[in-house]
Amino acid sequence: MAKLVPYWRSAWRLWSVRLGVVGSVLVSLFTLAPDAMLQAWLMLPGDLKAVIPPQYTPMIGVAVFVLSMVARFIPQPKTAEVISEKLVESGKPALPNTVANVMAPPELKAKEPTL
């Protein structure tokens, strides 16, 4: 059986998770309430509507999902520090490449990944 990553309780802090949730909500709204999304579109200022052509509005949710995948590869040092500190406090290894990992006791230091 698969195990969860040790920082699963703090995963909501990651931008990839946040954008994934936003994308899920947008796609769900487009699917379940297209009339509500049309109303929201009609309420947008004309300047904003001019930037996004109407035929591309259904793709906004998909674009947010793609951005969530991209965000996963962008370093988030402050979030990594918070997660590492919580891991060390709970007696688990810290994330590699963080100050918390450097300051952690040797038995809790995370090993650097090897390629």
Q: Rounded to an integer, what distance in angstroms lies between the CA atom of residue 89 and that of residue 84?
A: 9
Q: Rounded to an integer, what distance in angstroms lies between the CA atom of residue 64 and that of residue 13?
A: 17
Tell me which range, 32-46, 49-63, 73-87, 94-108, is most confidently predicted by mean pLDDT: 32-46
Q: Rounded to an integer, what distance in angstroms lies between the CA atom of residue 106 and that of residue 97?
A: 14
Domain range summary for the chain, segments of one domain joined by +? 10-74, 75-115
The number of beta carbons lying within 10 Å of the beta carbon of residue 111 is 8
pLDDT of residue 114 exceeding 60, the answer is no
- The per-residue pLDDT for 112 is 57
> 9: which residues sit within 8 A by CB, 6+ positions away?
86
